[in-house]
């Protein structure tokens, strides 16, 4: 994990942010990589009406 430069995190529920942040800190410890966190609601099945 020392060579990771960037992490993209996709959360379905932003209420999970605090928990995800604790896991992230625990995984990368003293030198965490740059991170982008995005809330993703739905997906192709919601956008296109798929079931």
CA nearest neighbour of 7 among 37, 27, 43, 41: 37
Q: Is residue 28 part of a domain?
A: yes
Question: What is the tens place of the pLDDT at every residue in 5-44?
Answer: 999 998 888 889 999 999 999 998 888 899 999 888 766 5
Q: Is residue 34 part of a domain?
A: yes
Expressed as residue numbers, the domain containing 41 is 6-47
The 3-state secondary structure of 3-50 reads CCCEEEEEECCHHHHHHHHHHHHHHHCCCCCEEEEEECCCCHHHHCCC
User: Has this prediction a pTM greater than 0.85?
Assistant: no
Report how many domains make up the chain: 1
Q: Is residue 29 part of a domain?
A: yes
More confident residue, 19 or 1: 19
Q: Is residue 26 part of a domain?
A: yes
Q: Is residue 1 part of a domain?
A: no
């Amino acid at each position: 994990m020392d060579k990771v430069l960037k992490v993209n995190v996709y959360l379905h529920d932003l209420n999970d942010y605090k928990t995800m942040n604790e896991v992230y800190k625990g995984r990368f410890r003293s030198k965490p990589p740059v991170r982008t966190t995005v809330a993703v609601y739905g997906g192709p099945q919601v956008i296109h009406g798929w079931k």
